[in-house]
């Protein structure tokens, strides 16, 4: 495990949800409740990038079949996905968002 810079705080804040590539690992970053969260970027139902989905509150809706995941816990909130998406610890250091990956 290693803390790695994924984006600037300003970029995540402005975009709300965005993708990041950390050493080949596809990550989605979210700005929720004045904090940053990270999950794996690929939906657990089929192949779709959650960073292209719709963020509402602390939930991300998959753009393909509309499964909903809680971005803080990774848990499924609405099917058709039934498996939680992996989450990663995040922290802010200065202007940088760091993800433990
Ligand atoms: S690919 Fe995400 S719900 Fe089907």
Q: How far is the CA of 88 from the centre of ligand 1 (A)?
A: 20
Q: How far is the CA of 95 from the centre of ligand 1 (A)?
A: 33
Q: Tell me, yes or no, whether 98 lies in a domain.
A: no
Domain span including residue 22: 3-87
Q: Tell me, yes or no, whether 99 lies in a domain.
A: no
Q: Tell me, yes or no, whether 95 lies in a domain.
A: no
36 lines ligand 1 (CB under 6 A): no
Q: Tell me, yes or no, whether 83 lies in a domain.
A: yes
Coil, helix or strand for 13?
A: helix
Q: What is the pLDDT of residues 19-63, one digit of tens each?
A: 999 989 999 999 999 999 999 999 999 999 999 999 999 999 999
**Rounded Cα–Cα distance for residues 70 and 53 (Å):** 13
CATH code for position 38? 2.102.10.10
**Rounded Cα–Cα distance for residues 101 and 97 (Å):** 12
As for how many domains the chain has, the answer is: 1
**Rounded Cα–Cα distance for residues 97 and 36 (Å):** 8
Whether the pLDDT of residue 16 is over 80: the answer is yes
Pocket test for ligand 1, best of 67, 69, 82, 84 (most atoms within 8 A of CB): 67
Q: Tell me, yes or no, whether 8 lies in a domain.
A: yes
Q: Tell me, yes or no, whether 61 lies in a domain.
A: yes
Q: Tell me, yes or no, whether 73 lies in a domain.
A: yes
Count of CA atoms in the C-beta half-sphere (13 A) of 8:
4
Whole-prediction pTM = 0.96
């Amino acid at each position: 495990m290693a803390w790695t810079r994924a984006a600037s705080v300003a970029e995540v804040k402005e975009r709300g949800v965005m993708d990041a590539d950390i050493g080949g690992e596809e990550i989605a970053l979210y700005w929720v409740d004045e904090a940053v969260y990270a999950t794996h970027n690929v939906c657990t139902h089929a192949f779709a990038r959650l960073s292209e989905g719709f963020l509402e509150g602390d939930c991300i809706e998959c753009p393909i079949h509309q499964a909903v995941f809680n971005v803080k816990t990774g848990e499924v909130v609405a099917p058709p996905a039934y498996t939680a998406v992996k989450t990663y610890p995040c922290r802010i250091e200065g202007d940088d968002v760091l993800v433990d990956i």
